[in-house]
């Protein structure tokens, strides 16, 4: 199944919902960064959230969204970025983190991330200044923290379910999630209905393992409430790094720093955090960058 996101409404517009399958995207990130199982789960959940949120909020080619999570757990932190087409990239601070399973026998994402810390959601929407939403971590499980962000920063009651199923060899069996939001004016009957449906619905990874699609999941939730599928769009792992970007990064270091690189290293090697691609610059190329900086 290719990775994609479905956008829908239900209950005559009182509910809007997004569901996604992100198995390939998360699998590529896990492979590139050689992630431990719990690191794969943490990064994969965050990438899935970013992919969906991009479809919710970004509207033009220049728009961008970044989620930054910093907790007191051994994972250290997570950084995920996406554009308006849900081209997503991300990394964790400590890709090798390995901790025991939680009390339910599941990967302990909350323990790896930590329960003390913060989550930033930064959206560059082409305005003078980017929008920055800041919330404290609730559980470190990612889904709860994203839901808390929507409630606190956007005042939108939301249900967020994110999941990554990791095989014993570390490969990604499936990944995906959904975000459901109540629109202004949603009545108590809709709230009660939604709470009951969410309570009885199986976890995302179990549904995906059974062959369910994002459309199927939304149908299970809202088939009785006039579900309307509005859009289906792809999402994927894409890094936008380039040699030109790395050149600009080097120039931004300033003349003195570049001169030190020439004197001490006779060149420079830069590595992209998001995709691990390496870029080498020779001594002569650094001298040329100093000339450009002048």
Query: How do beta strands 4-10 and 267-271 pair?
Result: unpaired
The span from the CA of 130 to the CA of 123, in Å, is 6
The span from the CA of 22 to the CA of 1, in Å, is 9
**pTM assigned to the model:** 0.94
pLDDT (tens digit, 9 = 90+) per residue, 2-42?
A: 999 999 999 999 999 999 999 999 999 999 999 999 999 99
Q: Has residue 294 got a pLDDT over 70? A: no
**Per-domain boundaries in the chain:** 4-237, 243-293
Sign of CA dihedral 29, 33, 39, 40: positive
Tokens for 134, please give them: 């800041």
Its CATH architecture, for the domain 4-237, is 3-Layer(bab) Sandwich (3.55)
pLDDT (tens digit, 9 = 90+) per residue, 194-237?
A: 989 999 999 999 999 999 999 999 999 999 999 999 999 999 99
**How many other C-beta atoms lie within 10 A of the C-beta of residue 130?**
13
Residue 176, phi then psi, degrees to nearest 5: 170, -170
pLDDT (tens digit, 9 = 90+) per residue, 121-176?
A: 999 988 888 999 999 999 999 999 999 999 999 999 999 999 999 999 999 999 99
Residue 13 DSSP one-character state: T
For domain 243-293, give the CATH number: 3.90.1280.10
């Amino acid at each position: 199944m290719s990775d994609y996101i479905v956008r829908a409404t239900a209950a005559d517009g009182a509910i809007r919902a997004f569901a996604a399958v992100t198995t390939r995207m998360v699998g590529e990130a896990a492979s590139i960064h050689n992630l431990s199982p719990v690191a794969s789960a943490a990064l994969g959940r965050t990438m899935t959230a970013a992919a969906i949120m991009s479809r919710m909020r970004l509207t033009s080619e220049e728009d961008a969204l970044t989620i930054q999570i910093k907790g007191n757990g051994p994972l250290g932190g997570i950084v995920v970025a996406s554009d308006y087409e849900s081209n997503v990239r991300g990394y964790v601070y400590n890709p090798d983190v390995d901790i025991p399973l939680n009390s339910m026998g599941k990967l302990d994402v909350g323990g790896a991330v930590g329960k003390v810390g913060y989550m930033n959601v930064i959206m560059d929407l082409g305005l003078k200044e980017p929008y920055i939403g800041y919330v404290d971590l609730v559980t470190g499980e990612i889904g709860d923290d994203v839901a808390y962000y929507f409630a606190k920063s956007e005042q939108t009651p939301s249900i967020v379910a994110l999941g990554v199923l990791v095989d014993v060899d570390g490969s990604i069996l499936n990944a995906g999630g959904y975000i459901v939001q109540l629109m202004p004016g949603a009545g108590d009957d809709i709230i009660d209905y939604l709470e009951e449906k969410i309570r009885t619905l199986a976890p995302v990874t179990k549904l995906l393992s059974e062959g369910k699609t994002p459309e199927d999941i939304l149908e299970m939730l809202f088939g009785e409430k006039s579900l309307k599928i509005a859009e289906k769009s792809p999402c994927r792992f894409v890094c936008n790094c380039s040699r030109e970007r790395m050149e600009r990064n080097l120039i931004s270091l300033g003349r003195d720093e570049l001169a030190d690189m020439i004197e001490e290293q006779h060149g420079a090697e830069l590595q992209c955090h998001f995709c691990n691609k390496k870029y080498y610059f020779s001594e002569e190329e650094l001298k040329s960058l100093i000339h450009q900086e002048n």
